Amino acid sequence: MREFGYTSVADVGEALTALQEPGTRLLAGGTEMLNWLKEGIERPERLVDITALPLRAVEPLPGGTGTGSGSGLRIGALARMSDVAAHPEVARGYPVLAESLLLAASPQLRNMATVGGTLQQRTRCPYFRAETGDLPCNKRTPGSGCAVLRSGETEEHALFGWTEECVATHPSDMAVALAALDATVLVEGPRGARRVPAGAFHLTPEQAPPERHTALAPDELITGVEVPGPAPLSHYVKVRQRASYEFALVSAAAAVELAADGTLAAARIALGGVAHRPWRLTAAEETLRGVDPEDGGAVHTALARDFAAARPLPGGANGRGNAYKTELARRTAVRAIRDASRRDAASGAGREGSLS
């Protein structure tokens, strides 16, 4: 680890001023940054500690009743994952978000990691890490190539949105839930404040060079996240190789609204573990209207248009590729939709929960 300067700031303005100096990086929970410092992937001239910024609150959006999440919630960028997951308004109104946070990491990491930092997790595969030595990775060393495509060890990699430059997937569980909730990422910078849809915050290699992970500019700061409210009929499903802390092979976040006859009046579905960003199943969201969520075959069929765009990767001489993830992701989405709809009866959450 190379030497670097360290300072702390007490307000957003100070943080933005500090970011104007080249070589400056921000530090909050540090659960990701410290890894990259130790491995030589990040080599800042100066770290600016922002943990003192007043960005920890979880509160109703202006215009609400003041007693709950009827109009949505604003979550500060420095709110800890464990605190957000345990917040009563999140647990009651946005179970998909609470579940994604609880499945995302170990308790120790959840007690340190922040919402803003989690959004900035890097899209990567094992070849991104420094200990892989001289193996190429366009995200680590632009222009060096993609070791995954050379080796054919593609079992855990992308189905959608990949290019010959990179086939990695984004690891965040929370980001998938936020995409399904139509959340907005709040950003401030020297050019003013702006709002970025959560589903567009992470970039595919078709949108930007592989070394760029998000829509956040180097001189900008995430100040919070807004989620419209509420989505009590929602659920997050994560499929991984082992039950302990691990990134998803595939995951699915679903938020639904039921008609009086129990069929789907509306649905939002996002997949994780299949692309550089949470992948919304926009065609299915239209096709699912009027479908019985308990009819697994009908839900499976409704997903067909979106999965027609999947491009499974072939395996190498000793690899099987990742074609299996296509069906796995489809079944995971079916389960997320079914279990989200069942909350109506199981939890007592009324059908007044709206997706509008």
pLDDT value of residue 197: 97
Contact of 280 with 272, CB cutoff 8 Å: no
- In this structure, the answer to whether residues 70 and 103 fall within a common structural domain is yes
Instruction: Tell whether 355 is covered by a domain.
Output: no
What's the pLDDT at 356?
Answer: 40
- Asked, for residue 66, whether it belongs to a domain, the answer is yes
Q: Look at residues 61, 57, 81 and name the one whose alpha carbon lies nearest to residue 69.
A: 61
pTM: 0.92
Establish if 338 belongs to a structural domain.
yes
Tell me, letter by letter, the H, E, C secondary structure of 205-266. CCCCCCCCCECCCCCCEEEEEEECCCCCCEEEEEECCCCCCCCCCEEEEEEEEECCCCCEEE
Show the domain range for 47.
1-54
Sign of CA dihedral 45, 25, 118, 153: negative
Q: How far is CA 223 from CA 68, 121, 220, 327, in A?
A: 21, 16, 9, 37
Q: Judge if 196 and 270 occupy the same domain.
A: yes
Q: Distance between CA atoms of 322 and 324, rounded to whole angstroms?
A: 5
Q: Does 142 fall in a domain?
A: no
Number of domains observed in the structure of the chain: 2
Residues 183, 50, single domain; the answer is no
Buried b (16+ CB within 10 A) or exposed e, 265-284: bbbbbbbbbbbbbbbbbebb
Same domain, 101 and 216: yes
**Measured between alpha carbons, how far is 59 from 294 in angstroms, rounded to an integer?**
35
Question: 175 and 45, same structural domain?
Answer: no
Last residue of a domain, one of 34, 54, 74: 54
Task: Identify the helix (H) or strand (E) that includes residue 100.
Answer: helix 95-102
DSSP 163: B
In a domain, 320, yes or no: yes
Q: What local confidence, expressed as pLDDT, does residue 67 receive?
A: 44
Q: Is 83 found in the same domain as 4?
A: no
Q: At 107, phi and psi to the nearest 5?
A: -55, -35
Clarify whether residues 35 and 65 are in a common domain: no
CATH of residue 285: 3.30.465.10
Question: In the beta sheet, which residues pair with residue 234?
Answer: 255
Residues 262 and 187 occupy one common structural domain = yes
* Alpha carbon separation from 156 to 124, 175, 284, 303 (Å, rounded): 11, 18, 24, 21
Question: Do 204 and 90 share a structural domain?
Answer: yes
68 and 28 in one domain? no
Q: Is residue 126 assigned to a domain?
A: no
Tokens in use for 265? 């009046």
User: pLDDT 10s digit of each residue in the chain, 356 long?
Assistant: 678 899 999 999 999 999 999 999 988 988 788 888 887 888 888 999 999 999 999 999 987 544 455 689 999 999 999 999 999 999 999 999 999 999 998 888 898 899 999 999 989 988 887 565 678 999 988 999 999 998 888 999 999 999 999 999 999 999 999 999 999 999 999 999 999 999 999 999 989 888 889 999 999 999 999 999 899 999 999 999 887 778 999 999 999 999 999 999 999 999 999 999 999 999 999 999 999 999 999 999 999 999 999 999 998 766 689 999 999 999 999 999 999 999 864 454 444 344 44
d(CA 224, CA 228): 13
Q: What is the largest CA-CA distance in the chain?
A: 64
Q: Are residues 280 and 336 in the same domain?
A: yes
Quick one: 233 and 301 in the same domain?
A: yes
